[in-house]
Amino acid sequence: MNTPALSSAIALVFGLAVLLWAVVRYAGERPLHERVRTGAAWTLTGVALLNTYAWQSAMTRYDLLPLAASLAAGGLLAVVRGGTVRLFTEDGRAMRQDRPVTTLLWALAVPQHLLLVTLLSHGRGTAYGGLGLGSSSLLLYFGVVLSVQQTVVRRRSRGTLRALGSAASAAPPERAEFPGARSGP
């Protein structure tokens, strides 16, 4: 196996491990204190992997167009996914939990990215077509879409957290859904 193909395979394994991590991490109830650092770390790691692939496979600037299209589509999917996260309070703390539909949307993220990059690239400029570009940019993709999703969840919760702070003198219920949040699992 030559170097660009090995880089793509390693990047794909890392990307799938990150997907598994995200699904397992967010399936349970968690305090709502997410920071953008995780998304930023994945983005920077993804840029480094993509740079390695680009250097080894003689990528052209035209290869960036399918990648940009996939990042835009992934960003839209992340906005939808951020809207499906369950927000609630427990003992006065803001909490979050992914719903089954959120997990399904995470599972669609990998095929969406790989298929869009593969279909749009038509093998231009890379020795292995879109799959090499798609797998090499998977961590970059996850970093961007996770940052978008976290931003959506934080913005959804911002008004509610202010309302909780002003209503702290009243005895808050042990567990309450955020206003406007969908109820149920």
Instruction: Indicate the domain borders of the chain.
Output: 3-177
pLDDT of 134 over the 80 cut: no
| Cα-based distances in Å from 64 to 8, 117, 118, 141, 174 | 16, 9, 12, 13, 50
pLDDT of 106 over the 80 cut: yes
**What is the spatial distance between Cα 160 and Cα 183, in angstroms, rounded to a whole number?**
15
pLDDT of 12 over the 90 cut: no
Are residues 158 and 38 in contact, defined by beta-carbon separation less than 8 angstroms? Answer: no
Q: Give 177: exposed, middle or buried? Use CB within 10 Å, 0-12, 13-18, 19+.
A: middle
**What is the spatial distance between Cα 48 and Cα 112, in angstroms, rounded to a whole number?**
22
- Pull the structure tokens for residue 67: 């990648």
* Best CA proximity match to 117, nearest among 131, 100, 136, 105: 131
- The reported pLDDT for the residue numbered 119 is 76
pLDDT of 163 over the 90 cut: no
Are residues 96 and 181 in contact, defined by beta-carbon separation less than 8 angstroms? Answer: no
The confidence band for 164, taking pLDDT boundaries of 50, 70 and 90, is: low
* Best CA proximity match to 176, nearest among 103, 95, 115: 95
Q: What percent of the chain has pLDDT over 70?
A: 69
> Can you give the pTM of this predicted structure?
0.74
The confidence band for 171, taking pLDDT boundaries of 50, 70 and 90, is: very low
Average pLDDT over residues 113-117: 82
Q: Within 13 Å and on the Cβ side, how many CA atoms surround 158? A: 7
